[in-house]
């Protein structure tokens, strides 16, 4: 018996397949003075957060910063997110981020992208 899938997200998401930068807290580095920046790949995005594929495991509760390029608008969003889920997959670690303290520019660009019929990234 299959159960119907129930959407639990407060905001709709849309597929987003681009390379992004992610900055992890100092606790992920051997040198406590420097932040650790890496590349990751976005899977989808919405006003509430995004799903990324990371080469390293990032446990739930960790706060990270991400840089998301919106090429057609000539903007790169810098956002803070909290990891809500991290699962190892064949592609890497699937990491769900919930955005915190999003500014109006970020809200506008993400809402435009999620609601657009064609790619605007």
The domains located in the chain, with CATH, are 14-115 (2.40.10.220)
Per-residue pLDDT of the chain (121 residues; tens, 9 = 90+): 555 555 566 777 888 999 999 999 877 766 666 668 899 999 999 999 999 999 988 999 999 999 999 988 899 999 999 999 999 999 899 999 999 989 999 999 999 998 875 555 5
Report the predicted TM-score, pTM, of the whole model to 2 decimal places: 0.82
Q: What is the DSSP string of 47-82?
A: TTEEEEEESS---TT-EEEEEEEEGGGTEEEEEEEE
Q: What is the DSSP letter of 115?
A: H
- Grouping H, G, I as helix, E, B as strand and the rest as coil, residue 5 is coil
CA distance 9 to 113: 17
């Amino acid at each position: 018996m299959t159960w119907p899938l129930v959407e639990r997200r407060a905001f709709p998401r849309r597929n987003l397949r681009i390379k992004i930068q992610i900055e992890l807290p100092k606790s992920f580095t051997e040198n406590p003075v420097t932040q650790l920046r890496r590349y990751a790949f976005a899977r989808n995005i919405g006003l509430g957060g995004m799903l990324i594929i990371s080469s390293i495991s990032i446990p739930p509760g960790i706060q990270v910063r991400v840089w998301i390029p919106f090429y057609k608008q000539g903007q790169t969003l810098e956002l803070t997110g909290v990891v809500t889920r991290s699962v190892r997959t064949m592609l890497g670690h699937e990491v769900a981020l919930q955005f915190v303290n999003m500014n109006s520019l970020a809200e506008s660009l993400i809402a435009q992208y999620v609601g657009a019929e064609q790619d605007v990234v």
